[in-house]
Amino acid sequence: MKCFYFRDKSKSKHSSSGQPNSAPVLQNHGGGGGSPPEPRGGDRAVTGLNRNTRSMSSLPSPRRGVAELYREKRGLREFTYPELRDATCGFNRELKIGEGGFGSVYKGTLKVVGDGRDPTVVAIKRLNRHGLQGRKEWMTEVQFLSVVEHPNLVKLLGYCSTEDGRGPQLFLVYEYMPNRGLDDHLFNQALPALPWKTRLEIILGAAEGLAYLHEGMEIKVIYRDFKSANVLLDENFQAKLSDFGLAREGPVDNRSHVTTVVVGTYGYAAPEYVETGHLTIPSDVWTFGVVLYEILTGRRAVEMNRPSREQKLLDWVKDYPVKGKTFSMIIDPRLRGQYSYPAARRIGNLAERCLVKNAKDRPTMREVTVVLKQAILESQPEAMDSRSNGSGPATPTKERRVSRRTR
Ligand SMILES: Nc1ncnc2c1ncn2[C@@H]1O[C@H](COP(=O)(O)OP(=O)(O)OP(=O)(O)O)[C@@H](O)[C@H]1O
Ligand SMILES: [Mg+2]
């Protein structure tokens, strides 16, 4: 890739450590000190893992938390600012592939390993200047993504923390996902409709990723930001969960929840979490149920430009119960009837189970994967039903990020 940019004369300082390949350290309020990583800001952890409340004598559990696992692993590469600037031709607008609530994402090419191999195509997220909160989210993402390892989770290749005249600048460098997000394929009318079976395979991959986070590691991880925009797709349309800035360690010692400030994306968060701030593993399962309905209907969780009765997806689908005769009317019209009706009902039933009010009655993500595999079997070409419906096309509306009790 040819790069043209004006050289930045201002000297970019690199991370406080100055050491290549060293792990980033969250500092106190802009201070120099290099204190170890802290849990997420504003969260009142009841896990007993909060570094600030942890006392050697009062906590007998030898259990390691994400901060400990992260310190042991330290496998990430620390990039310099000039490396990232050159990789993106000076953060050239033409290489910008997206923008989210936390910053802009650029496509770039970088030498990820220093062995003379060809440069790798990467996605570089440049965080907005959000002060300490932004830094905590950046740190959370670095910690979780360096500890987790699963084919359905995006790989973080490295990070960069630097300063310019206006304060700290933070970057994350990921493997590049050429097929972008599931949301693009479900809601962007300019792209071809995503076939039924591909939808199921993608959502199965996402479910496997969540199941791993919930029960596949030494620590339990609550992802907290499950949504179609965070399910990225690789060259084979394999799902990879991204955006771990809101992830939290799950409860330990038989506790049911961790207590946190309410953050997430409008339309996706579990009601009990929004109301109480009690975050649980089943909170993620609720959110998964919302995305199951997005897959079925081709509509976003919230679309403010629809008639008021249809703006909230979960309210709208109530008029078309899974067991009723009108259920097929909610199925994405862009599928043009090319889906398996029994599988669609199975998915509808599964969504309902994920969305039950009592969090304890929701299935585990492992159970969810079993049902999704059955639905995929029912969706083999020979089993495909050819029902269609006559509802109008979906119109995309970008969802809004919320930071407090908004529903
Ligand atoms: N690793 C990646 N490879 C390719 N595209 C990516 C990658 N990471 C993010 N993107 C794309 O960049 C865009 C912005 O992503 P980002 O995660 O910042 O925001 P979002 O998930 O859309 O919303 P938000 O994070 O604000 O809730 C999205 O279109 C996403 O598909
Ligand atoms: Mg995202």
CA 8–ligand 1 middle distance (angstroms): 26
* Same-domain check for residues 213 and 358: yes
Query: Does residue 404 belong to any structural domain of this protein?
Result: no
Short-list 214, 216, 247, 217, CA closest to 230: 247
Nearest Cα residue to atom 11 of ligand 1: 98
- Boundary of a domain, candidates 159, 175, 191: 175
CATH of the domain at 216: 1.10.510.10
Per-residue model confidence (pLDDT) at position 397: 36
Short-list 168, 167, 169, 162, CA closest to 17: 162
Q: How far apart are CA 359 and CA 356, in angstroms?
A: 7
* Same-domain check for residues 94 and 171: yes
- Boundary of a domain, candidates 175, 208, 236: 175
* Same-domain check for residues 95 and 21: yes
Q: For residue 406, what is the DSSP state?
A: -
Query: Does residue 302 belong to any structural domain of this protein?
Result: yes
Is residue 225 annotated as a catalytic residue, yes or no? yes
Query: Does residue 136 belong to any structural domain of this protein?
Result: yes
* Same-domain check for residues 345 and 211: yes
pTM listed for this prediction: 0.82
Ligand 1 atom nearest to CA at 174: 1
* Same-domain check for residues 25 and 123: yes
* Same-domain check for residues 154 and 201: no
* Same-domain check for residues 205 and 160: no
Tokens of 358: 């009592």
* Same-domain check for residues 163 and 226: no
Pocket residues: Cβ below 6 A from ligand 1:
97-102, 105, 123, 125, 154, 174, 176-177, 180-181, 229-230, 232, 242-243, 265, 401
Query: Does residue 75 belong to any structural domain of this protein?
Result: yes
Which residues form the domain of 378? 182-385
Which are the contacts of 172, defined by CB distance < 8 A and separation ≥ 6? 124, 125, 127, 138, 141, 142, 156, 159
Per-residue model confidence (pLDDT) at position 50: 31
Short-list 286, 285, 284, 316, CA closest to 300: 316
Per-residue model confidence (pLDDT) at position 22: 42
Number of domains into which the chain is organized? 2
The amino acid that residue 223 corresponds to is Y
Pair 76, 146: CB distance under 8 Å: yes
Nearest Cα residue to atom 17 of ligand 1: 100
Nearest Cα residue to atom 23 of ligand 1: 100
Query: Does residue 37 belong to any structural domain of this protein?
Result: yes
* Same-domain check for residues 254 and 340: yes
Query: Does residue 406 belong to any structural domain of this protein?
Result: no
Short-list 82, 176, 165, 161, CA closest to 126: 161
Pair 359, 280: CB distance under 8 Å: yes
Residue that the structure tokens 């599931």 belong to = 182
CA 126–ligand 2 middle distance (angstroms): 13
Tokens of 291: 């995305």
* Same-domain check for residues 171 and 215: no
Per-residue confidence of the chain (407 residues) as pLDDT tens digits? 444 333 333 333 333 333 333 446 544 333 332 333 333 333 433 332 233 333 333 445 567 888 888 887 767 889 999 999 999 999 999 999 999 888 899 999 998 766 666 789 999 999 987 666 788 889 999 999 999 999 999 999 999 999 887 788 999 999 999 999 999 999 999 999 999 999 999 999 999 999 999 999 999 999 999 999 999 999 999 999 999 999 999 888 778 788 888 877 888 999 999 999 999 999 999 999 999 999 999 999 999 999 999 999 999 999 999 999 999 999 999 999 999 999 999 999 999 999 999 999 999 999 999 999 999 999 987 666 444 433 333 333 333 343 432 22
CATH of the domain at 92: 3.30.200.20
Pair 155, 254: CB distance under 8 Å: no
Q: In the beta sheet, which residues pair with residue 232?
A: 181, 240
CA 145–ligand 1 middle distance (angstroms): 15
* Same-domain check for residues 226 and 88: no
* Same-domain check for residues 218 and 195: yes
Mutation to probe ligand 1, out of 88, 91, 96, 97 (largest number of atoms < 8 A from CB)? 97
Buried b / exposed e across 157-180, counting CB within 10 Å, b at 16+? Answer: bbbbbbbeeeebbbbbbbbbbebb
Query: Does residue 240 belong to any structural domain of this protein?
Result: yes
- Boundary of a domain, candidates 142, 157, 175: 175
Query: Does residue 403 belong to any structural domain of this protein?
Result: no
If one counts every other C-beta atom within 10 angstroms of the C-beta of residue 95, the result is 18
